[in-house]
Amino acid sequence: MRAESIETTIGRISALGYEKIEIQGTPEAYDTKYVGQLLKDHNMTCWGSVTLMLEDRNLLAKKYGTCSIIIDYWFGRFVSLLPVL
């Protein structure tokens, strides 16, 4: 995977005929309204996300507090993106 802007990625894969995209699950990294409009402009939709489970987002952590952070993250932030994307 190469590092490129979301605009470049959406434009590139749209030109290849893709209709859906999986986006990195870090909501604070994106302006969701902007990305939603980019997807609409390219006749695409977001079907899911992938989240790197590192540090504070580690469900395998031994400490309960760390696990609760990822649960709060998913249900507090990511789920709020679903109506937009």
Q: What pLDDT digit, counting tens, does each position of 24-59 carry?
A: 767 677 788 898 999 999 999 988 777 666 666 666
Residues 6+ apart with CB under 8 A from 9: 21
What pTM does this model have?
0.61
pLDDT cut 70: percent of the chain above it: 54
Q: Where are the beta strands (DSSP E) in 7-85?
A: 20-24, 45-50
Segment 14-22 shows an average pLDDT of 94
Q: First-to-last CA distance in the chain?
A: 22
Q: Which residue has the tokens 């695409």?
A: 44
